[in-house]
Amino acid sequence: MPEVGSIEHSILNMFSDFAIFSRYHNLDSLHPNATGSTDPLSEWEAIIDNVVENDVPDKKLKKQLEEVGYLVELIEDHTLSINSGMSGESLTLLEAFSLPQKQSVAAPYLMVRVFNLLAPIIDMVSELGQKGFYTRAPDESGPHVPLFHETLVYFKADNAQIRRKKRWP
């Protein structure tokens, strides 16, 4: 299990809450007797901000935000922002243009953390697949379980390979 208070722990809690409670947060919030479930988008934004703060190199983030800053300087006299952030707050023009850049820069580092969460599960499924494939039933029939490690090989990438991937669905 991830250490309590870690980013991985936050990710796991957010996924768990989403699966159990907050999947329909937007619809639930329309009901007059809605309970105060946490908005999954604001939770996800907090996780992204935490990843940006802890994982993304300052130089990389600064470069992306400087490019956005130049663009905003060029258009700010002629542009109005009526966007909201993931937590529902109004965004300035600079924030509206910076948010997608921050998310894009954070995505590879976030995926490394998600893959690190999945690694023990993938190892366990691969091992069980090995046992199930090579262990015969008492009547000598089999194999009854596929070799999962062949299918899961793409999930066994190292952190650098994960960060190099250009596009995440």
Cα–chain-centroid distance for residue 162?
A: 13
Contact 64/105 with Cβ under 8 angstroms? Answer: yes
pLDDT, tens digit, 9 for 90 and up, residues 96-134: 999 999 999 999 999 999 988 888 888 888 888 888 888
Q: What percent of the chain has pLDDT over 70?
A: 89
pLDDT at 162: 83
Number of Cβ atoms within 10 Å of the Cβ of 31:
8
Q: Which residues does 103 contact at the CB level (< 8 Å), separation at least 6?
A: 48
pTM (2 decimals)? 0.79
| CA distances in angstroms from 69 to 25, 45, 50, 51, 79, listed in the order given | 34, 21, 22, 22, 14
